[in-house]
Amino acid sequence: MKPIRRIVTGHNTAGNSVFLQDDNNSPTVTRGVTITNLWQSAKVPVDNATDYFDGSAMVEPPETGAIFRLIECPPSPAKHMHRTATLDYAMVLEGEIWAILDTGERLLRQHDTLIQRGTMHAWQNRSDQPALLLFVLLDAEALPELPPDLSSLPPDLSSLPPP
């Protein structure tokens, strides 16, 4: 995946709207999956006066926070079942990918969306082309009977070894 141009707006000291950033976000490759975190909010509601993203590649958003990210999944027979304490909005921008749950699976194609509500799940690209997905992850309360299953993922994705 090529770097994604990100433009960030804000306010100057006079209260006028300004462009604060216009740069390229470099992707991080972990286990063969390319991830570009475009923005992360420390909490919701967001404090637009001070909230600022440091570019880190975290698995989950901060407590009461959010993450806006792109993920490019190459064709792969591998799948990794996992669960996070988040509400995720996912949309397929390019290609196709299988969403796999404990009890079934669904094929998602371009512009299909999936609302992931803290369930055990995996993604698998069974095609011969990469799939590009857009995600918004919101911190959520963990389901009391189903604690998050993050034991195999470090909190900082950049620390994962290559596939």
Q: State the CB neighbour count (10 A cutoff) for residue 25.
A: 18
Strands (E) located in 103-148: 104-109, 113-117, 121-124, 131-139
- The stretch 26-50 carries a mean pLDDT of 82
**Residue type present at position 146:** L
| Model confidence band, residue 151 (pLDDT cutoffs 50, 70, 90) | very low
C-alpha–C-alpha distance, residues 25 and 61, integer Å: 18
28-159 — its CATH code? 2.60.120.10
- Enter the tokens of residue 71: 């993920």
What pTM value is reported for the model?
0.76
- Measure the CA–CA gap between 24 and 5, rounded to whole angstroms: 4
Pairwise CA distance, residues 89 & 8, whole Å: 21
